[in-house]
Amino acid sequence: MTHFARKDLVGLADLDPDEIAHILDVADQFRDLNLRPIKKVPTLRGKSVVHLFLEPSTRTRTSFDIAAKRLSADTFSISGSSSSATKGETLLDTARNLAAMHPDILVVRHRRAGAPRMLSEALPNTAIVNAGDGACEHPTQGLLDLLTVRRRLGGFAGRTVTIVGDIKHSRVARSAIHGFSKLGAEVRVCGPATLIPPGIEALGCTAYGRLEPAVRGADVLMMLRIQQERLHLGSHYFPTLREYSRLFGINREKLRRWAKRDVVIMHPGPINRGVELEPEVADGEWSVILDQVENGVAVRMAVLYLVLGGRRTAASEGRA
Ligand code: CP
Q: What is the pLDDT of residues 175-223, one digit of tens each?
A: 999 999 999 999 999 999 999 999 999 999 999 999 999 999 999 999 9
Q: What is the mean pLDDT of the chain?
A: 93
By most ligand atoms within 8 Å of CB, the mutation choice from 52, 53, 59 for ligand 1 is 59
Residue 35: CB atoms within 10 A of its CB come to 9
pLDDT at 81: 85
127-150 mean pLDDT: 98
pLDDT at 233: 53
Band (pLDDT 50/70/90 cuts) for residue 157 is very high
Percent of the chain with pLDDT over 90: 88
Q: Which residue's CA lies nearest to atom 3 of ligand 1?
A: 60
CA angle 298, 301, 289 (to 5 degrees): 30
Q: What is the pLDDT of residues 222-279, one digit of tens each?
A: 999 987 766 665 567 888 889 999 999 999 999 999 999 999 999 999 999 999 999 9
Q: What are phi and psi of 315, to 5 degrees?
A: -65, -40
Band (pLDDT 50/70/90 cuts) for residue 310 is confident
The answer on pLDDT for 38 being more than 50 is: yes
Q: Which atom of ligand 1 is nearest to the CA of 132?
A: 3
The answer on pLDDT for 2 being more than 90 is: no
pLDDT at 311: 62
Query: Ligand 1 mean position to 57 CA, how many Å?
Result: 5
pLDDT at 221: 98
Query: Ligand 1 mean position to 313 CA, how many Å?
Result: 30
- Write out residues with Cβ below 6 Å of ligand 1: 57-61, 132, 138, 141, 268-270
pLDDT at 237: 87
Which class is 139-290 in CATH?
alpha beta
Band (pLDDT 50/70/90 cuts) for residue 165 is very high
Q: Nearest-CA neighbor of 4 among 175, 143, 133?
A: 143
CA angle 263, 268, 273 (to 5 degrees): 80
Domain ranges of the chain: 12-136+293-318, 139-290
Query: Ligand 1 mean position to 73 CA, how many Å?
Result: 22
Query: Ligand 1 mean position to 268 CA, how many Å?
Result: 7
Q: Which atom of ligand 1 is nearest to the CA of 60?
A: 8
Q: Which atom of ligand 1 is nearest to the CA of 63?
A: 8
> Rounded to two decimals, what is the model's pTM?
0.94
Q: Which residue's CA lies nearest to atom 6 of ligand 1?
A: 57
pLDDT at 234: 52
Q: Which residue's CA lies nearest to atom 5 of ligand 1?
A: 57
Query: Ligand 1 mean position to 241 CA, how many Å?
Result: 21
pLDDT at 219: 98
- CA-to-CA distance for 320 and 315, rounded, in angstroms? 5
For domain 12-136+293-318, say whether CATH 3.40.50.1370 is its number.
yes
139-290 and 12-136+293-318 share a CATH fold: yes
